Structure 1
Amino acid sequence: MNRLYHYPLSPFSRKVRLSMAEKKIEVELVEERYWEQDADFLRRNPAGKVPVLKMGNRTMADSTAICEYLEDSHPTPPLLPNGAEGRYEARRIVAWFDDKFYKEVTAKLLGERVFRKVMGTGYPDSTNVKAGSRAVKYHLDYMAHLLDQRRWLAGNDMTLADFAAAAQLSCLDYISDVDWNRHEVVKDWYAKIKSRPAFRSLLADQVPGFPQPAHYADLDF
């Protein structure tokens, strides 16, 4: 059995979960409180981060490297375009959400509102929360710009770029930090991806102390 060490509100774990579910790869989910730096977990990934995927005798870390491995080893359905230009664009947008969006938005909103409490590191820093709330508007505007020209974020087919974005936004949606009314085209995009079978396990996630908002698992939000 494949085994994924993850945390429910880790967007990087969610990106891998979405990829595996879309490719119909069965996996056992093992929740990992990675910040506790458990010795067994550090042996699996000395970087001390989730996700970590165990497939057969291979143990893999880093969400992008894992998703690329899955794309090579399980190419159907494809989550990267065929041509070099399309693959570049999909990878560019994956990097945008994994790096820029995460640092400017997710780490500031989810990090302050949830992880400070979960990790026991104090109270939310209002400066970070305000900065994240400002930044998310810019990113939603950028998504709207892309989606005004394309059916999906990287082109006319759904790709790993859409899963990278949905992984980040679904974590924020769990704490009601996304204004879905800002751009109808972004809301429609999220409704499409949220309704895919691959999304079901994410919609079932429960984090103790942080109940789901009423709209979170509603496909007609």
Structure 2
Amino acid sequence: MWQLYQFPLCPFSRKVRLLMSEKGIAYELWRENPWERREGFTQMNHAARTPTMHDAEKGITLCDSRAICEYLEETVDRLPMISGTAATRAEIRRLVALFDENFFADVTGPLIHERMMKRLVYRQSPDSRMLREAMRLAHEHLYYIDYLVDNRPWLAGPTMSLADLAAAAQISVADYLGGLDWSGHEQARAWYSVFKSRPSFRPLLAERMEVIQPPSHYADVNA
């Protein structure tokens, strides 16, 4: 069985967990704080980044969320998440990169640093200027999701795809850290509420990071 090394507020781990749950892939969840650079973890993944997956029976270790997701897409036939025409598959990968890279750099990454890392690791106060900028940029990304939802059944096209999972994973962490103002984003809110109602998402909504608690609306599927 796969062992998935992750920590609760890692959006890339959440993306992999959503994909594995949607595909019905069994796995064991292992908590890993990558900033601690535990020796056993760095032996599996020299970069000491989550998620990392390991299957002792198969002798396989996989690192990097996009590499892991592509591997699962190629080896598990159930419920493909990168499908359709070549153009559709390219659009899915474009949006995955947008959320993994741009949304994370603009919103999720700064929120994690200011509201989690500074509190748990550095024992510092968050920078209010950085938080305001992350929340401002979050609005821009939510406006783009509004646009996509207005023009497509799902973010990348007619069916749910890895693009939706990548976006929902990033948004869920940003929402947990109180970095999203949903005002004026009814399309994005409605799309995200659909995800919050899915069985694959329930374990994420139930998890809590020590010391840091989410806003009251976080786990409410109707909020």
Q: TM-score, normalised by structure 1?
A: 0.96
- The alignment partner of 1:116 has SS state of helix
Alignment root-mean-square deviation, CA: 1.1
1:1-221 equivalences in 2 (<5 Å): 1-55=1-55, 56-120=58-122, 122-221=124-223
Deviation at 1:61, TM superposition (A): 0.3
The letter of the residue matching 1:92 is: R
In the aligned structure 2, how far is the partner of 1:35 from the partner of 1:73?
Answer: 31
* CA distance in structure 2 between the aligned counterparts of 1:185 and 1:220, rounded to whole angstroms: 14
Conserved? CA contact 1:6–1:31, under 8 Å = yes
Deviations 1:166-206 (A, max 9, x none): 00000011122222232111011001111111101101111
Shift of 1:80: 1.0
Question: How many angstroms does 1:213 deviate by?
Answer: 2.5
Aligned to 1:163, what secondary structure does the other structure show? Answer: helix
CA contact (8 A) 1:181 1:187 kept: no
Q: Which runs of 5+ in 1 are unaligned?
A: none
Distance across 1 between alignment mates of 2:216 and 2:123: 28
Aligned residues: 221
Shift of 1:98: 0.4
**What letter corresponds to residue 154 of structure 2 in structure 1?**
W
Q: Bigger shift: 65-74 or 101-110?
A: 101-110
Stretch of structure 1 that moved more, 40-49 or 168-177:
168-177
**Counterpart code for 2:2:** N
Q: Measure, in 2, the Cα distance between the counterparts of 1:60 and 1:114.
A: 26
Kept in 1, the 8 Å contact 2:45–2:52? The answer is yes
Identity of aligned residues (%): 44
Q: Displacement of 1:128 after TM fit?
A: 1.6
TM (normalized to structure 2)?
0.95
Deviates more, 1:75-84 or 1:27-36: 75-84
The secondary structure found in structure 2 opposite 1:157 is coil
Instruction: Tell whether the 8 Å contact from 1:203 to 1:217 is kept in structure 2 after alignment.
Output: yes
Measured in 2, the distance between the counterparts of 1:192 and 1:209 equals 28
| Paired residues of 2:135 and 2:181 also in contact (CA < 8 A) | no
Cα distance in 2 for residues equivalent to 1:93 and 1:14: 16
Q: CA deviation at 1:121?
A: 5.3
